[in-house]
Amino acid sequence: MRPLLPGAVATSGNQNNELGVPLTAVQLKADNDFLVLEMGARGVGHLSYLCDIAPPHVGTVLAVGSAHVGAFGSLELTAAAKGELPAALPGDGVAVLNADDPRVTAMPTPARVLTFGVRGDVTWRDVCLDRLDRPSFSLGYAGMWQPVRLRQSGAHQVANACAAAAAALAVGEQLPAIAHRLCAVQSPSPMRMRRQLDPRVTGPLTRSQDPVRSTSPVRNKDRFFRRRDPAGPSGSLC
């Protein structure tokens, strides 16, 4: 998210808990326009606590998944925990919600809602994957379409990019600038999955620098401008 908002202070690594959130927030200086915080939850009440520490103006919820349902207890409790973020937004704020996940769209919020997804306000079309599975697509909002070519591998990154674009739109960034910046985004963290070519094979091989962190594509995290790997769109090869 940080590359879409030049000059923003943003969460590094996995600093998304009751220690990492305030440590990130105190880095904000007078010349910073945005604070981008990832907020992690291990149960109901955790996001409310973090929102008390750093009250959000724009909040993004990507999905309600089953990867950590053992920690939360059920999908319903997972949704309740994640719903604490949009519920904490002010009336003049913006809730960026996944239009393709009914548990997310059902989350109550006093804020204006901006959706992303196949059925969202911010959407995509014409997804095409290159030989390293890096997607190209058209990013759409309010009748305008902009070409995007991502440097990350995987068709699911299209939904991630649209979520980030929606959050950037929510704070006043313009679609052409957002699309241009998305094309330049590198992998955000050395702890995430990275794509390498194995010289012994003709196709790409995905390797993880942190197999524990990469065991599930669904992360129980939310942030003001948050990224996760929801079920993404399919795409053709190009």
* Confidence (pLDDT) at 124: 98
Instruction: Give the SS3 label for residue 124.
Output: strand
Query: 29: burial class by Cβ within 10 Å (0-12, 13-18, 19+)?
Result: exposed
- Per-position pLDDT tens, the chain of length 238: 999 999 899 999 999 999 999 999 999 999 999 999 999 999 999 999 999 999 999 999 999 998 878 888 999 999 999 999 999 999 999 999 999 999 999 999 999 999 999 999 999 999 999 999 999 999 999 999 999 999 999 999 999 999 999 999 999 999 999 999 999 998 655 555 455 544 444 444 333 333 233 233 333 345 443 333 344 455 566 5
Burial grade of 27 (CB within 10 A; 0-12, 13-18, 19 or more): exposed
- DSSP assignments along 35-59, one per residue: EE-EEE-SSTTHHHHHHHHS--SEE
Q: What is the pLDDT of residue 70?
A: 85
**Number of alpha carbons in the 13 Å side-chain half-sphere of residue 238:** 13
The amino acid occupying position 14 is N
Q: Which CATH number fits domain 57-237: 3.40.50.1820, 3.40.50.720, 3.80.10.10, 3.40.1190.10?
A: 3.40.1190.10
For the chain, the domains span 57-237
